[in-house]
A and B are shown apart, each in its own frame.
Chain A
Amino acid sequence: MQLFVFICAAVMILAGAVGVIVRSHPVHAALSLVLTLFGVAVMFVSQDAHFLAAVEVIVYGGAIVVLFLFVIMLLGVDRAESLRIDPVKVQRPLAVIVGLGLFGLIGGAIIEGRKTLTARGTGLDTATDAASHDSNIKQLANDLFSNHVFAFEVTSVLLVIAVVGTVLLARRPGKSGPVASAAEVAARTESTTGASAK
């Protein structure tokens, strides 16, 4: 049963990952990413990490990819791109090198740590204690809010900084004085396009 679930989820993950790269349409690529995320969530469930699975779907599937789609739709880049054109020439060879490097790293890590991967550690056993329904979440919360509380707080500060930064960037430059009205902007763009046409 475990093997069957693993194969299904692995097929989902790989199909999604290949789809992200191969599909030339940004929206289709984003949807393939959702497929991958769901596959990972299934993997988590089959490993009894229910909370991680839920968070994976809520945060990554429900918020981050929705944000991607918003940006794609609102910026109007939702057109298929040709994969033949390469805007930056070094990009592809570099991508191949980085990809191989990453593959090597992960492979090395698996070979190096194969003993700890196959052994049932104490951490996993206690986290999936069958006696309590919510042990998964309780363990996670205890660990996060006691051992790693400082990192947790710093992360939230980072998020606040990101929000403030976004607001600052989105503000128009030149705080004082009224900003150009839409008509003025239109007139300005018209004059510049007219000039370039001449």
Chain B
Amino acid sequence: MLAIDSLVEKLGLATVLIVLLKMLVVFAVGLVVTMFMVWFERKIVAGMQNRTGPNKAGPFGLLQTLADGMKLIFKEGLMPDRADSFVFRLAPYLAFVPAFLVWTVIPLGGDFLHGKDGTIKIFGHRTFVQLADPPIGVLLLLALSSIAVYGIMLAGWSSGSKYPLLGSVRASAQMVSYEAALGLSIASVLLISGTLSTHGIVGGQNSLSKWSVIATGVVPFVIFMIAGTAELNRPPFDLVEAEQELVGGFNTEYSAFSFALFFLAEFMNTVTMSGVIVTLFFGGPQPVKFDLGRIHFNGDIHLGPFSGTVWFIAKVLVFLYVYVWLRGTLPRLRYDQLMNLGWKVLIPASLGWFLLLAAQRVASDNDWNKWLVSAISIVALALCAGLLTAAVRVSAKNRDREGAMF
């Protein structure tokens, strides 16, 4: 039971209240943030396309999502005749619940100034600004993303019609393929941090040069960003809802509240993925500190226990903007391009980089010459890459000669 909050020594009324309060805050913030994310995305994309975007409901159209949500709740939920009624009703929740649960392990704030460990005090109890800090931390993210596959897969299948089935097979194949690259780039971060707990990962990144994005050498971050975008089924990897080919993808037959759940899950996943990127690679709620001789800044923005949250939100906003930016500017990939990128580029690259980092780690543990070890491992990896390219070329030639396998 102590896994819920490792700082709680015994369960008392106050600790239970704190956990309940945190749950409530995480739930409410999750919903509200998602609501504004939809608005944010529509506004930014509108700006990129010289349109105005939503501007009628509320100031700057801020309440547009709320209005859309209300409309969807009051609509009639239709079910196709050939649908599998139980699975059809279950699927939206399977997509929605994992999206929410990711929030539980992301450190949302805390006091990291002057080398503090990020705990704050509520009602006289020291606690983290995150709902739970289980020992498996990051693995929970992977587990939840593998559960989210069920929602999409079953939604398409249970609709009992062709286009949703094709859309869901595509989506789940894509998610399963990119999960490997995602996991391998997370592994590089874990190698540096030496712990699985998200709080530990954030705690280790206490200066700019210790941010995982720099400590792991940028490549894992780039791979994680690409694989994460594919995992979210967002443009340019949104083949799942290629309108020209699939009508609306896996959720074609869904309407009213069930559709709202899918929609909400999709946008919430975008926000959580940005949160995960910030946590893993950019120090989460850690302040930005730099010291360039005359210009130096110790990250203190005079907000006490809230400063971590402010930093976290600022960092997340950057990535949310990047996601919207990608959507506004990149064309959609073709399916074979998507699979080639995932299996033949991202997985080998992330595995190779992981091995390189591991070799450096072994070298530093044994006091070997760092540069020599790096040079040897780079040569070995280059040889492997050459071999892989040759193999891919041979198989492409064979495919041309014999025709596609399927």
Whether A133 is near chain B, meaning CB under 8 Å from some CB there, is yes
In the complex, 22 of the A-B residue pairs with CB atoms within 8 angstroms, ordered by the A residue number, are: A1-B1, A25-B84, A27-B84, A28-B86, A31-B87, A45-B3, A50-B134, A50-B136, A51-B135, A53-B136, A54-B140, A55-B139, A57-B147, A61-B146, A62-B142, A70-B172, A134-B135, A137-B196, A171-B405, A178-B401, A178-B402, A179-B403
User: A24 → chain B, closest Cβ, in Å?
Assistant: 13
> CB-CB < 8 A to A137: which residues of B?
135, 196
Cβ B134 vs Cβ A66 within 8 A: no
Whether B169 is near chain A, meaning CB under 8 Å from some CB there, is yes
Cβ A66 vs Cβ B196 within 8 A: no
- Stretch of B149-157, B248-256, B278-286, B378-386 that contacts chain A: B149-157
Cβ A175 vs Cβ B143 within 8 A: no
Given contacts A54-B142, A66-B153, 11 further A-B contacts (CB under 8 A): A1-B1, A27-B87, A34-B150, A54-B136, A62-B142, A69-B153, A73-B157, A134-B194, A134-B196, A179-B402, A181-B403
Cβ A170 vs Cβ B1 within 8 A: no
Selected from B145, B154, B402, the residue in CB contact (under 8 A) with A175 is B402
User: How many A-B contacts if CB must be within 8 Å?
Assistant: 90
Docked CA distance A74–B157 (Å): 10
The residues of B with any CB-CB pair to A shorter than 8 Å are 1-3, 6, 84, 86-87, 134-136, 139-140, 142-143, 145-147, 149-150, 153-154, 157, 165, 169, 172-173, 176, 179, 194-197, 200, 401-403, 405
Whether A143 is near chain B, meaning CB under 8 Å from some CB there, is no
Cβ A62 vs Cβ B165 within 8 A: no
User: B191 → chain A, closest Cβ, in Å?
Assistant: 12
Cβ A136 vs Cβ B146 within 8 A: no
Cβ A61 vs Cβ B147 within 8 A: yes
Closest to A31 in B: B87
Cβ B176 vs Cβ A63 within 8 A: yes
User: B385 → chain A, closest Cβ, in Å?
Assistant: 19
> CB-CB < 8 A to A45: which residues of B?
3
Cβ B157 vs Cβ A27 within 8 A: yes
Q: Which of A48-80 contact B (CB under 8 A)?
A: 48, 50-51, 53-55, 57-58, 61-63, 66, 69-70, 73-74, 78
Cβ B165 vs Cβ A73 within 8 A: yes
> CB-CB < 8 A to A62: which residues of B?
142-143, 145-147, 149, 179
Whether A198 is near chain B, meaning CB under 8 Å from some CB there, is no
Docked CA distance A52–B154 (Å): 26
Selected from A27, A28, A58, the residue in CB contact (under 8 A) with B146 is A58
Docked CA distance A50–B146 (Å): 17
User: B388 → chain A, closest Cβ, in Å?
Assistant: 15
Whether A172 is near chain B, meaning CB under 8 Å from some CB there, is yes
Docked CA distance A51–B196 (Å): 10
Selected from B149, B157, B179, B197, the residue in CB contact (under 8 A) with A134 is B197
Docked CA distance A108–B42 (Å): 64
Docked CA distance A133–B201 (Å): 12
Selected from B136, B146, B196, the residue in CB contact (under 8 A) with A63 is B146
Docked CA distance A78–B159 (Å): 13
Selected from A27, A61, A73, A133, the residue in CB contact (under 8 A) with B197 is A133
Docked CA distance A45–B145 (Å): 19
What per-residue 1/0 map shows which CB atoms of A79-111 lie under 8 Å from chain B?
000000000000000000000000000000000
